[in-house]
């Protein structure tokens, strides 16, 4: 319930129940048609609907193979918004054939889909548009460094969208085991990486995110876009991406393992309009600072980003 309230407050669309909500995920006797003691899943889903927040349920491959044809109509009855398939077999012909069939059944029933673990895009999302994203990326769960995060735009993301599972830090947990980059670097990646569905507070608890200024950017950043431009980049060293939603531009700048000093050209902006740019960046104290400047088409925006750090920028036209 607290997750739903947090999501509604911060303009999110979904919460996710990951592994454990119906028992031990790899145990063949765990039954995804029910839920563990202490949960009332239909009541939670109903509460989510009252706040316009959808609920996505994770089901492991073990449970999917055994219960798929039963859980699809059941979850539809509960009002589930989507399903996350876990630990699928994405490496064999048999596994991918089963996956395509399973996704078809689930999307035909009206669910959005997120496929996790060793599956990378094979083009099937063109056939099943509600298949929004997949893993196959070694995101924050695996403790990637800034070389990895600035290499992915040139490699894995060429194949299609990826759910990076961001472990964004909070006042209680720095997630130091998972994070090797700064807060602003993570903000920037939400623009740089394309995924219509993103897991933003992996492992986090809503009551721990007490510093609103450090998560403010998440209230505004979309997951789907009208236009994208890759402004600058070198594999494993730095990357800059600009994306537009409506008349607002978002820019993500991230440095690899070395400092990045340079500039990006603002040629993508509309001519004869002044934009107010809100720049979210590292404050040098482990948090996020924000400054406001005005920019216009054709200008150079200076870039001075320390190693492993970043910038996330929102450019709104002034009336």
* 56-97 per-position pLDDT tens digit: 999 999 999 999 999 999 999 999 999 999 999 999 999 999
Q: Of 219, 245, 269, which closes a domain? A: 219
Q: Count up the domains in the chain and report the number.
A: 2
Q: How many CA atoms lie within 13 A of 255 on its CB side?
A: 21
pLDDT for 49 equals 98
Q: Are residues 72 and 191 in the same domain?
A: yes
Cα 82 from chain centroid (whole Å): 15
- Same-domain pairing of 62 and 209: yes
Q: pTM of the prediction?
A: 0.96
Alpha-carbon radius of gyration of the chain: 20
Q: Specify whether 302 is located in the same domain as 207.
A: no
DSSP classification of residue 159: T
pLDDT at residue 252 above 80?
yes
Q: Are residues 236 and 142 in the same domain?
A: no
Per DSSP, what are the bridge partners of residue 60?
Answer: 86
What is the rounded average pLDDT for all residues in the chain?
Answer: 97
pLDDT of 34 above 80: yes
As a whole-number percent, the residues of the chain with pLDDT over 70 amount to 100
Same domain, 119 and 41: yes
**E strands, the chain, in order:** 14-17, 54-60, 82-86, 112-115, 131-134, 227-234, 238-245, 248-255, 260-265, 275-282, 288-295, 300-305, 310-317
Whichever domain contains 40, its CATH number is: 3.20.20.70
Q: Could you tell me if 149 and 259 lie in one domain?
A: no
Whether residues 282 and 208 share a domain: the answer is no
Q: Are residues 167 and 243 in the same domain?
A: no
- pLDDT value at position 45? 98
What b-and-e string marks burial along 27-64, b requiring 16 or more CB atoms within 10 Å of the CB?
Answer: eeebebeebeeeeebeebbeebeeeebbbbbbbbbbbb
Instruction: Give the percent of the chain with pLDDT over 90.
Output: 97
Domain CATH for 243 = 2.60.40.1180
User: Is the confidence at residue 40, as pLDDT, over 80?
Assistant: yes
- For residues 71 and 205, membership in a common domain is answered with yes
Instruction: Mark which of 181, 199, 219 sits at the end of a domain.
Output: 219
pLDDT tens, 138-159? 999 999 999 999 999 999 999 9
State pLDDT tens for residues 160-183.
999 999 999 998 999 999 999 999
Q: How does residue 259 score in pLDDT terms, banded at 50, 70 and 90?
A: very high
Whether residue 36 is found in the same domain as residue 89: yes
Query: Which residue has better confidence, 125 or 2?
Result: 2
**To the nearest 10°, the Cα dihedral for 120, 153, 254, 256?**
90
Half-sphere exposure of 176 (CA within 13 A, CB side): 4
On whether both 197 and 73 belong to a single domain, the answer is: yes
Which structural domain range is residue 29 located in?
Answer: 2-219
Which of 219, 236, 257 corresponds to the end of one domain? 219
Residues 310, 185: contact at Cβ < 8 Å?
Answer: yes
Contact criterion met (CB below 8 Å) for 290 and 211: no
What angle do the packed helices 41-50 and 61-78 form, to 10 degrees? 60
Are 208 and 215 in contact by the 8 Å Cβ rule? The answer is no
Show Cβ contacts of residue 147 under 8 Å, excluding neighbours closer than 6 positions. Answer: 236, 256, 257
pLDDT band at 319 (very low <50, low <70, confident <90, very high): confident
For 107-142, write each residue's pLDDT tens digit: 999 999 999 999 989 888 899 999 999 999 999 999
235 and 139 in one domain? no
244 pLDDT band (50/70/90 cuts)? very high
């Amino acid at each position: 319930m607290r997750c739903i309230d947090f999501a509604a407050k911060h303009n999110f669309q979904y919460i996710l129940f990951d592994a454990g909500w119906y028992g031990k995920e790899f145990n063949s006797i765990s039954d995804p048609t029910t839920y563990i003691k202490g949960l009332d899943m239909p009541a939670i889903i109903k509460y989510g609907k009252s706040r316009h927040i959808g609920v996505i349920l994770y089901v492991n491959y073990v449970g999917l193979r055994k219960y798929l044809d039963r859980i699809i109509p059941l979850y539809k009855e509960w009002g589930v918004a989507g399903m996350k398939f876990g630990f699928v077999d994405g490496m064999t012909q048999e596994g991918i054939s089963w996956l395509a069939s399973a996704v078809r059944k689930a999307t035909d029933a009206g669910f959005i889909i997120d496929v996790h673990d060793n599956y990378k895009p094979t083009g099937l999302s063109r056939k099943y548009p509600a298949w929004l994203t997949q893993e196959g990326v070694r995101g924050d769960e695996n403790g990637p460094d800034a070389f990895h995060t600035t290499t992915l735009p040139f490699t894995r993301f060429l194949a299609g969208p990826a759910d990076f599972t961001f472990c964004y830090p909070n006042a209680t947990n720095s997630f130091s085991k998972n994070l090797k980059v700064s807060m602003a670097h993570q903000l920037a990646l939400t623009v740089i990486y394309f995924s219509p569905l993103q897991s933003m507070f992996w492992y986090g608890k809503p009551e721990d995110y007490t510093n609103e200024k450090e998560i403010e950017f998440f209230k505004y950043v979309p997951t789907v876009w009208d236009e994208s431009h890759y402004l600058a980049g070198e594999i494993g060293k730095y990357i800059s991406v600009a994306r537009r939603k409506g008349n607002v531009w978002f820019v993500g700048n991230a440095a690899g393992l070395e400092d990045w000093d340079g500039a990006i050209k603002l040629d993508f902006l509309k001519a004869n309009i002044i934009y107010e740019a809100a720049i979210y960046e590292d404050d040098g104290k482990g948090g996020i600072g924000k400054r406001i400047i005005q920019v216009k088409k054709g200008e150079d925006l200076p870039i001075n980003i320390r190693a492993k750090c970043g910038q996330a920028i929102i450019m709104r036209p002034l009336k």
